[in-house]
Amino acid sequence: LSLSFPQKLRKIVESDLFRSIWWSWCGKCVVIDEELFKKEVLCRTGPLRIFATQSMKSFLRQMNVYGFTKVPQDSERSASLPEFLAQEDAASAHSQVLYYHNPSFTREHPQLLEKCKRR
């Protein structure tokens, strides 16, 4: 049984195995450290592969297909210390930190995931 894109995304956001993707402090946005995400998630091959692509551009296109919209970073600056430090580390490493929002993809309401459909 294969998982849909939103189901896979939720699993990795919730997982402690990945440092490149996490919930924003409010739990309404997914935060992605782009460079680390490429190495940690998209570069996986074989049975460890998570998504069908190894391209960040294709991954972000999938996000858009499922109704995720990019949020300006300033509006979602994290209040929690671990997230803030991860953002600062990414900034100092010249990595881009991306924020994406979908009303059907939130930390507090996993039951909404079934509404997260392809456009």
Total number of domains in the chain: 1
* Parent domain of 47: 5-73+87-109
User: Within a domain: residue 114?
Assistant: no
User: Within a domain: residue 82?
Assistant: no
Between 86 and 43, the more confident residue is 43
Give the tens place of pLDDT for each residue, 54-102.
999 999 999 999 999 999 876 555 556 666 666 666 666 556 889 999 9
User: Within a domain: residue 29?
Assistant: yes
The predicted model scores a pTM of 0.83
User: Within a domain: residue 22?
Assistant: yes
State the CATH number of the domain containing residue 69: 1.10.10.10
Q: Are strands 29-33 and 97-101 parallel, antiparallel or unpaired?
A: antiparallel
The percentage of the chain sitting over the pLDDT mark of 90, rounded to a whole number, equals 74
User: Within a domain: residue 117?
Assistant: no
Q: Which of 68, 71, 65 is nearest to 25 (CA)?
A: 71
Cα separation, 76 vs 32, whole angstroms: 12
User: Within a domain: residue 13?
Assistant: yes
End-to-end Cα, the chain, rounded Å: 22
The percentage of the chain sitting over the pLDDT mark of 70, rounded to a whole number, equals 81
